[in-house]
């Protein structure tokens, strides 16, 4: 049993009927009807009401009603006339709660008694139509911009049809302490709207109208917020109201599922609070799932993965054989495992297609993923072969969940006729995997990796490429054993192989790896001489070191905690590899070097036959 | 003779050599070398210097040098070491001026004397290498964030190799009064960086890094700013430093030309100041050009424009005949003229291809456009036919410049075998033309229309469509005789006919036009019943009026100044028409109705055979 869920139609793209279909399909219990969606809908109120009934959706809220209180009595007469027209409409729709926003445009009287008196009279008119009013403080209300003041006015109005509406954005964006919510009687909280948001420093109106996110995608502490609301005794739906430029234009069912996933995640987080609010209907915990402990494997898919085989050999990987039933090859070195998959890859140039993660309890992790509506991936598996649960990440990457292994993973035994692994591998594992994200999927990806895989999202940053800024965000496990870099290419980026993705391997001796690779014929990504001039200016490195770095295409970075030394292979199709050595407590990714890498890749991509 | 111009390489996309080629081709005299562009460049300093020489470009500035002053003496030793490495590099490049930014990261000493002493010693080292330092206050400098303080420190440093750099963004974004610039001796202003920006309320660092614009595209008063700088006696180049997410990724030569156009516009604006600074080399005025006085014609282009002919007939247009030498037809009503052009339009569905403007002096307007590097359009013209100057707007629309006419424009006589115009036309002219803009071209379009056609850009707004937010911006003549709406479709919008564009015609009796059109078989864009319910709630219109509006698909808006009543045709290809009646001083465009229109169009577009 879970808490009831709802979503404002403004969160979704398409017509009002599209939105209702998608909300129902994604598993919501109800919707908030955003007035402009109804006004623009070819389907009128009776048709919308009937469709909602057929789909099993409740219509939980009609919103917004603006400029209602704090006005002159002359203006209030027109407010009442407007409101009565909306109450009649709500009866046709079958919605019993209307959102009344604190006045932004027409208020001239900054007086709680006046606002309360006007709300009371609106409440009296509402009650005649079986309607109740949920009064909400907008963060930019002219006089009422704090939920505590909105609640004082509701108390003063003292009418059974007048309560308050709480919106996490309006409260948390202003930095107001949500603990005070617990002092509001639950039955007077008529409605709850939830939205997350990134930490931005900008005017709160633009922040609200363009940048809201679903819970778990932003920087607000929504589990704590919701804890306060539930402890106050609120028993209405958890309803999402997210104004977001991207969600308004992306595929409606996909966004609805993303939205629904965010509430499942949030409910689980609330259930895990130190002092969780307890009710008959929730909050409900998901199966426990610790973050992955390691990258089990990465898979490169291509019609012909031969160029990848060459790179892996140059980097010192051992060929461990062919899969016994599929056109798939395995290369390993230490705990780094790369699968080259040529199955159903007609016309594919090399691309990063899958990442396997080692998790403590694959069954629990898979159950959790299913409850979060992660779309499952099916792969043909023969008797005796390991059947790993797999899901499709928002960018299309397949995510596999494998159990922990000492030494070789269990599925490695399905590969035959290979070499034994070498004794002292120079590469020891995977440092990070860099996955390109379509711009429309980025927020969904952050939620996917943080909810399904329990990874933590760090701060994002922009990296300058010759083709524009690349938005980059790390998601990683608390112990940094698993790190993913999610990169959004510049909008105008357009290449048939897509924006390059890569796997960075760990070593304790990057020079040795680079020298061996060079002996085996590797041509590292070329690094310009000016880079080494700058490196000398920055770090005052010895000439001999710089010379060796330049000869091997090695880049370097340093921060207060330690050092980072690395090199890149050239790109084949949409994939390249990196080898990294970390010293001390350096936890970055060589960000100052990323523009140099991107420029070199851009330069090479214009000389494809080189 | 014009002022010398320069552009920072960070404004442009591609490699450093791409940027140099584009800057030269667009007509810049020099460039600022943005250090990260050089560090990432395969071409080293000697090659870059030689290329610049071949292209006739000077290398005007090396930038930025950070974290230079306000540090401990121990740290300053490393600053000097770093700086010397850069001075040597600058000698290899042949650049003699380095930008030193006020300290953001490492300053711990908030003392002008300390900063001045450190700048002086940097200046002494610089002088040994023939380099001079231009010290600039960043708007977010830790201690030095005001150009007046930066200048005080330069004065204190009192070294011939130490001067100041002024950046319009850092000064105007903080609201600092630029008049004080005139107190700085011109020879101590070592460099000038120019950037415009939209009026945004957000942290100044993000505003600067992502949203700068070229002069004329934003909200800053750059003519006044530059006036102060020139009056101070500055005689270096006008250099653009514009960090902009879009320009970083768009086609490099196109952006360079846009940038160069912005300086031509700016110089003209400065020359028109009430108290213009006067120098031997400028500022130079462009030919005078008043904004257009009317829309002369709009042209719809299609392989088969028959469906457009039908709509025009239903709206009451008179068929004025075929062009004597081209497959082109003319329809007129009052001063509204629509050309249907089927020339070289294979596979084109109807699209708005050209707009003709009536200008007082077409020759001067065309000369001005050419000096602003507007790309010319050539059309085949036979002897005896009027040869109108034409240019291609950033979105591809062809812009024609015609002289003023009483009654029929002169070119109308080239059309033969048509009907005579009716006596009392219901439509009297063109109210506005709505042109879709690719997102990459939007800022360029604002600059194009404001500089080439001398139209004013108003405030933009977002309009909600079922497929996302549409960004809409009006550019119009001061007397509102010519109004264009520039609309950017949501990024994910994808339709083979493009985002619909339209022409709105003016009438004094929209009901009569709608009734006549209905009699002639027009099906107006359907407006949902819920719209009229809402209209009643908003404006309390009489039932009979609402019923007539509903029957004719008429929409309505009202503001403090007046009223706006209008209807839309359905869309054919990528074009539709609107008929508008303005009453009183209403100067808007029915913005509250735009989402209803967009929703209805979306609904219809999914039922193409309807």
Assign domain A5-271 to a CATH class. Answer: alpha beta
Contacts of B209 in chain A (CB under 8 A): 462
Q: In this predicted structure, what is the pLDDT of residue B386?
A: 78
Instruction: Report pLDDT for A121.
Output: 98
Is B15 an 8 Å CB contact of chain A? yes
Q: How many CB pairs under 8 A join A and B?
A: 163
Contact A13 B466 (CB under 8 A): yes
In this predicted structure, the answer to whether residue B406 has a pLDDT above a threshold of 90 is no
Q: What is the pLDDT of residue A422?
A: 83
Chain A partners within 8 Å of B560 (Cβ): none
CB contact under 8 A, B201 and A202: yes
Q: Name which of A18, A33, A40, A106 to mutate to probe chain B: the one with the most chain B Cβ atoms within 10 A of its Cβ.
A: A40
Which residues of B are less than 8 Å from A209 in CB distance? Answer: 462
Tokens, residue B600: 């209805």
Whether B473 has a binding-site annotation, put simply, is no
Closest CA to B452 of B386, B387, B375: B375
For residue A89, which residues of chain B lie inside 8 Å, CB to CB? 533, 537
**Tokens for B468?**
């996302």
Q: Does A593 touch chain B (CB under 8 A)?
A: no
Contact list in A for residue B466 (CB cut-off 8 A) is 13-15, 18, 40
A40 to chain B: which residues are within 8 Å by CB?
466, 528, 530-531, 595-596, 598-600
A20 touches chain B (CB under 8 A): no
Where do the domains of chain A lie? 5-271, 294-605
- Tell me how close the Cα of B527 comes to any Cα of chain A, in angstroms: 8
Residue A46 near residue A92, CB atoms below 8 Å: yes
> Average pLDDT for residues B132-153, to the nearest whole number?
98
Which pLDDT score is estimated for A258?
96
pLDDT at B608 over 70: no
The rounded mean pLDDT for chain B is 95
Does residue B330 surpass a pLDDT of 70?
A: yes
Q: Which of B21, B40, B469 to mutate to test the interface with A (most CBs of A within 10 A)?
A: B40
B543-552 vs B510-519: helix crossing angle, rounded to 10: 50
Nearest to A377 by CA among A404, A337, A344: A344
Greater confidence (B38 vs A458) lies with B38
On the CB side of A146, CA atoms within 13 Å amount to: 9
Q: What pLDDT is stored for residue B444 in this prediction?
A: 95
For the annotated binding site of A for Mg(2+), the residues are: 432, 502, 578
* A115 interfaces chain B, CB cutoff of 8 Å: no
pLDDT tens per residue across span A195-234? 999 999 999 999 999 999 999 999 999 999 999 999 999 9
Whole-angstrom distance, CA of residue B300 vs CA of residue B317: 15
From residue A378, give the alpha-carbon distance in Å to each of A360, A392, B219: 22, 10, 55
Query: To 10 degrees, the CA torsion angle through A176, A181, A182, A184?
Result: 140
Fold topology of A294-605: 2,3-Dihydroxybiphenyl 1,2-Dioxygenase; domain 1 (3.10.180)
pLDDT of the residue at B440: 93
- Using 50, 70 and 90 to split pLDDT, how confident is the model at B562? very high
B495 is in an annotated binding site: no
B570 annotated as ligand-binding: no
* B323 labeled part of a ligand binding site: no
As a whole number of angstroms, the distance between CA A458 and CA A204 comes to 23
Q: Which residues pair with A390 in a beta bridge?
A: A400
Chain A positions in Cβ-Cβ contact with residue B203 (cut-off 8 Å) = 201-202
- The whole-angstrom distance between residue B537's C-alpha and the CA centroid of its chain comes to 39
Query: Whole-angstrom Cα distance, residue B509 to residue B515?
Result: 10
Q: Cα distance from B501 to chain A (closest Cα, Å)?
A: 19
Residue of A nearest to B492 (CA): A249
Residue A40 gets which letter from DSSP? T
Counting beta carbons within 10 angstroms of the beta carbon of residue B37, is it exposed (0 to 12), middle (13 to 18) or buried (19 or more)?
A: buried
- CA-nearest residue of chain B to A598? B40
Return residues 294-333 of A near B (CB < 8 Å).
Answer: none
Weakly modelled stretches of chain A, pLDDT under 50: none
| Sequence-distant (≥ 6) Cβ neighbours of residue B423 within 8 angstroms | none
Residue indicated by tokens 């496990």 = A477
B296 vs A547, B200, B310, B368, CA distance in Å?
Answer: 68, 36, 21, 19
Residue B432: CB partners within 8 Å, gap ≥ 6? B474, B476, B483, B484, B485, B503, B504, B589
**B528 reaches A (C-beta below 8 A):** yes
**Of the partner residues B81, B86, B491, the one whose CB lies closest to the CB of residue A540:** B81
Interface probe for A, chosen from B13, B528, B530, B600 (most Cβ of A below 10 Å), is B530
- Name the residue facing B40 among A533, A538, A595 (closest C-beta): A595
- Minimum Cα–Cα distance from B40: chain A residue: A596
Q: Do A469 and B81 touch (CB under 8 A)?
A: no
CA distance B514 to chain A (A): 21
* Cβ–Cβ gap B39/A534 under 8 Å: yes
Q: Residue A13 and residue B468: Cβ atoms within 8 Å?
A: yes
Residue B1 confidence (pLDDT): 56
Q: Which residues of A touch B245 (CB under 8 A)?
A: 468-469, 490
A17 chain-B contacts, CB cut-off 8 A: none
Would the pLDDT of B610 be above 70? no
Identify all chain A residues contacting B528, using CB atoms and an 8 Å cutoff.
Answer: 39-44
User: How many C-beta atoms lie closer than 10 Å to residue A158's C-beta?
Assistant: 11
- The answer to whether A245 contacts chain B (CB < 8 Å) is yes
SS3 of A287-334: CCCCCCCEEEEEEEECCCCHHHHHHHHHCCCEEEEEECCCCEEEEEEC
Nearest CA in chain B to A209: B462
Distance CA B534, CA B554 (A): 14
Interface test with A, best of B16, B36, B39 (most A CBs within 10 A): B39
Contact call for B40 and A249, based on CB within 8 A = no
Statement: residue B459 has pLDDT above 90? no
A417 and B CB contact within 8 Å: no
Nearest to B36 among A206, A468, A595 (CB): A595
> Does A249 touch chain B if contact means CB atoms closer than 8 Å?
yes
CB-count burial class (<10 Å; 0-12, 13-18, 19+) for B35: buried
What pLDDT, on the 0 to 100 scale, is given for residue B609?
61
User: pLDDT-derived band of residue B387, with 50, 70 and 90 as boundaries?
Assistant: confident
The answer to whether the CB of B239 falls within 8 A of the CB of B32 is yes
A-chain CB neighbours of B533 within 8 Å are: 39, 85, 89
Q: Do B599 and A40 touch (CB under 8 A)?
A: yes
């Amino acid at each position: 049993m879970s808490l009831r869920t709802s979503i404002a139609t403004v969160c979704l793209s398409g017509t009002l009927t599209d939105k209702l279909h998608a909300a129902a399909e994604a598993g919501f219990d109800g919707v908030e009807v955003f007035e402009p969606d109804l006004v623009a809908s070819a389907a009128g109120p009776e048709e919308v009401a009937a469709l909602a009934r057929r789909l099993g959706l409740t219509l939980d809220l009609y919103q917004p009603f603006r400029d209602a209180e704090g006005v002159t009595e002359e203006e209030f007469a027109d407010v009442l006339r407007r409101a009565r027209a909306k109450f009649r409409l709500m009866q046709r729709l079958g919605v019993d709660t209307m959102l009344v926003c604190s006045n932004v445009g027409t208020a001239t009287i900054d007086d709680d008694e006046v606002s309360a008196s006007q709300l009371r009279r609106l409440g009296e008119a509402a009650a005649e139509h079986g309607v109740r009013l949920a009064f909400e403080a907008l963060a930019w209300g002219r006089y009422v911009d704090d939920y505590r003041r909105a609640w004082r006015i509701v108390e003063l109005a003292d009418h059974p049809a007048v309560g308050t509406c709480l919106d996490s954005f309006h409260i948390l964006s202003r930095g107001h302490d949500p603990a005070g919510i617990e002092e509001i009687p639950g039955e007077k909280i008529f409605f709850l709207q939830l939205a997350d948001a990134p930490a931005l420093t900008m005017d709160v109106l633009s922040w609200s109208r363009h940048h809201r996110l679903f819970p778990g995608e932003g920087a607000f502490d929504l589990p704590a917020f919701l804890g306060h609301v539930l402890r106050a005794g609120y028993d209405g739906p958890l309803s999402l109201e997210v104004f977001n430029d991207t969600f308004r234009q992306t595929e409606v069912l996909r966004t609805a599922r993303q939205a629904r996933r965010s509430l499942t995640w949030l409910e689980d987080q609330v259930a895990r609070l130190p002092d969780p609010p307890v009710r008959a209907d929730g909050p409900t915990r998901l199966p426990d799932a610790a973050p992955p402990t390691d990258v089990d494997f990465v898979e490169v898919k291509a019609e012909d993965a031969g160029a990848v085989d060459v790179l892996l050999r140059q980097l010192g990987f051992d060929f461990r054989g062919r899969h016994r039933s599929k056109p798939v090859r395995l290369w390993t070195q230490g705990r780094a495992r790369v699968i080259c998959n040529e199955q159903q890859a007609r016309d594919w140039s090399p691309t990063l297609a899958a990442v396997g993660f080692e998790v403590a309890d694959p069954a629990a992790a898979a159950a959790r993923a299913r409850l979060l509506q992660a779309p499952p991936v099916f792969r043909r598996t023969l008797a005796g072969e390991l059947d790993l649960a797999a899901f499709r990440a928002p960018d299309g990457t397949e995510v596999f969940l494998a159990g922990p292994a000492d030494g070789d993973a269990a599925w490695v035994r399905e590969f035959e006729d290979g070499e034994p692994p070498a004794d002292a591998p120079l590469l020891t594992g995977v440092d990070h995997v860099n996955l390109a994200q379509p711009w429309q999927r980025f927020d969904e990806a952050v939620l996917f990796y943080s909810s399904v895989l329990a990874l933590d999202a760090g701060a994002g940053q922009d990296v300058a490429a010759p083709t524009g800024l690349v938005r980059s965000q790390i998601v990683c496990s608390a112990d940094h054993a698993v790190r993913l870099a999610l990169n959004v290419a510049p909008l105008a980026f357009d290449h048939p192989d897509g924006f390059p993705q890569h796997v960075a391997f760990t070593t304790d001796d990057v020079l040795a790896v680079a020298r061996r690779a060079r002996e085996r014929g590797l041509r590292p990504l070329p690094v310009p001489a000016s880079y080494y001039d700058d490196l000398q200016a920055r770090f005052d490195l010895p000439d001999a070191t710089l010379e060796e770095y330049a000869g091997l295409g090695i880049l370097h970075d340093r921060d207060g905690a330690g050092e980072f030394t690395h090199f890149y292979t050239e790109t084949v199709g949409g994939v390249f590899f990196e080898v990294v050595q970390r010293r001390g407590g350096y936890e970055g990714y060589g960000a100052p070097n990323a523009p140099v890498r991107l420029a070199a890749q851009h330069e090479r991509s214009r000389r494809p036959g080189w």
